[in-house]
Amino acid sequence: MINKLYYGAAYYPELWPEKDIDKDIRYMKRVGITVVRMGEFAWAKMEPEPDKIDLDFFVRVIDKLYRNGIDTIFCTPTPTPPIWISHGHPERMFVDQKGTVMSHGARQHCCTNNSFFRERCRIIITAICKNIAHLPGIIAWQTDNEFKAHVAECMCKSCKRLWHKWLKERYGTIDALNDAWGTHIWSEYYQDFSQVPQPLPTPALHNASLTTAYRVFSHEKIAEFQDEQLEIIRRYSDTPITHNSNRRHFLNHDLIYRNLDFASFDAYEDCDSYEVMLMNYDFWRTIKKRRPFWVMETSNYSNGCLLGYCKIHRKKYLIAEAVAAYSLGAQGFCYWLWKQQRSGVEMPHGAVLSTWGAPTVGFEETAQVNRVKKKIEPIILSSKPSQAEIAITYSDRARAFFFTEPLEALDYCKLMQDWYKKILDTGIHRDVILESADLEGYKILMTPFLPYISEDYFEKARKFIEDGGIWIVGPLSGGRTQEHTLHTEAALGGQLESIAGVETVFTYSATNSGAEGSAFGITAPLGLWSTFFKSRGAKVMGIVKGGRSPECAFLTEHKVGRGKVVMLGSMPQGEKGTAMLQAMIQHYAAEKKVSLRAHISKGTIIAPRKTDTGMLWVVINMDGKGGEVEIPSNAVDLFSGEKVKKGRLEIGVYDYRIIKLASSSS
């Protein structure tokens, strides 16, 4: 159990006169801010010239905040190296995929693999730790901020040298690389590792193996950069460390969070994209199971930059967003940013205070969220979020494959978001998990859009189904090898097809092919790159009608041990396709007696939580239209103490209720 909920904002006192800090603190107390995050963009303030490091300003600010009951999360300032690192040194700069050398400005303009940059990072982080780690106001550290938010794979000379070293360590011999990548195609054959190019522009496209491997290399190197920072911080501090990330950044979150203590993220979805925030909560909650996650940045009314801005949240949405966050496992809910920036690229971005130091349009609702936080805090602290019984696998490695091979211009993040929404709308509680996640406690594992299924993942899934779980595989899963090549023994690899009891007959794009699928009493068009099967022991659950593969199977199930493998070879399309997928999910959820589910109107959710004495449902309307939920047993409203009868319960616009179910339903 956690002992406190935090409510915070990103704070940049280095941008303002020091005399403003007292006024800021007064306003922070008015809206209930209990923690600020700072330091990530302040390297030039800390070290204006090489080795002239002065952190007294930040020590004073942290101390003053602490004396006023406000804690600090301090960040390493590595996303914004000062001008003296970059000026006159193009060899230290990030080089994009077109070969363009970045200039000083904005952030992330230096290559994090450059040896000089790495050394200067070690120096400034060591100084920060020596000066700040002992301060009582420091409750956590954050590495950098938003790794790879603006840049992807660097093509500089430092990276090229490391790339060749990485390839040699991975493959051992150049012959092994040539064989793995199939480089005799188009005479790409290499005679030495030093000849292997970075994926810079070519007349057509690079070999898929090369492009995907370079992305994997980049993922590993940015994680290595963070690990260097962690080693320094932990030398001076045992305070927990996080990184503030986003699913759309060019990272492998399995690697980034492997050595961190808790997960945190930012997202700025407007009120009509509440499903994206909910998916974030269900994703970041699972990364560090034993620690709550943090919403490190979101907007209190709207976000924006020089290129545009989002529409403003409707009234009360912010309350629903925050209640959902805390109820689904967050310990901290924080805004970007405290005070609107008077310069730079994010001037239109929403904040709690304006540049002239007055409350913004979001100020009062920010204060209201604090009042709600205080109201729900005793309940949140005395309970914990329930692990879902259904898990959806999310993979940054899969995303790398889709960047290389987007097929029908597919965006992996959007594919996964659409899949998630279909589950969300069934009313079934769900977790979104990384490939490395433990499967204990789950009844159904979903593996959509995972082109390469690793040996480790396959073995984990095999044990899961043998122990009684249902593994739903596909669509677009299993059709590529680790090296981003095609299988040669079977379309989806021999192991997967064997355990699924199927043989792939054809693979092609079913989009606009005239193919329809029939399953669970529903017929819908089929689309995306598809695999069509014949049974080799599996039970056919869905048949293709029309198109080029009539009477083939696109949906099968096969008993393995005490569980099943379900193969979904093609993606049902449109409203009927959504209905078919939801029918499939409901069918297997009923078969496995999934209990964390509710009959609930679209746009309203439940966040189930466990206590020592039973089960709580936090019911929240997220779409601003009001809704209703079917209460499965007599219950009690924890705020009013009133009894809630089994049956239909209405929820107002962006409203929430916390219901304790009778013990028989817990």
Taking residue 592's Cβ as centre, other Cβ atoms within 10 Å add up to 18
For range 302-310, the mean pLDDT: 91
What is the separation of C-alpha 485 from the centre of its chain, rounded to a whole number of angstroms?
27
pLDDT in tens, 504-537: 999 999 999 999 999 999 999 999 999 999 999 9
Q: What angle do CA 53, 78, 411 make, to 5 degrees?
A: 170
pLDDT of residue 289: 87
Closest CA to 249 of 114, 103, 404, 145: 145
Which CATH number is 390-591 given?
Answer: 3.40.50.880
* Percentage of the chain modeled with pLDDT above 90: 98
| Interval 31-47 mean pLDDT | 98
Radius of gyration of the chain (CA): 26
Q: Where are the domains of the chain?
A: 390-591, 604-665
CB 429 within 8 A of CB 392: no
Mean pLDDT of 247-261: 97
In the chain, what is the straight-line distance between the N-terminal and C-terminal CA atoms, in Å? 19
Strand (E) positions, 491-603? 502-509, 516-519, 522-527, 529-535, 539-545, 553-560, 563-568, 571-572
Average pLDDT of span 385-398: 98
Task: Give the whole-angstrom CA distance, residue 428 versus residue 386.
Answer: 12
User: How much is the pLDDT for 1?
Assistant: 57
How far is it, in rounded angstroms, from Cα 140 to Cα 168? 38
Give how far Cα 260 sits from Cα of 133, 291, 433, 501, Å.
17, 11, 17, 40
Q: Which residues pair with 400 in a beta bridge?
A: none
CATH topology of domain 604-665: Immunoglobulin-like (2.60.40)
The average pLDDT across 249-271 equals 97
* Residue 335 and residue 367 in contact, taking contact as beta carbons nearer than 8 Å: no
Over 70: is that where the pLDDT of 77 sits? Answer: yes
pLDDT of 40 higher than 60: yes
Q: Is 343 exposed, middle or buried (0-12, 13-18, 19+ CB in 10 A)?
A: exposed
Q: What is the predicted pLDDT for the residue at 665? A: 42
Kindly report the number of other CB atoms within 10 A of residue 239's CB atom.
15
The model's pLDDT over 451-481, given as tens digits with 9 standing for 90+, comes to 999 999 999 999 999 999 999 999 999 999 9
- Cα angle 641-609-374, degrees, rounded to a multiple of 5: 60
**Is the per-residue pLDDT at 249 higher than 50?**
yes
Catalytic residue positions, numbered: 146, 297
Same fold, 390-591 and 604-665: no
Give pLDDT, residue 663: 74
Mean pLDDT computed over every residue of the chain: 97
Contact (CB, 8 A) for 39 and 58: yes
Task: Please give the model's pTM, rounded to 2 decimal places.
Answer: 0.97
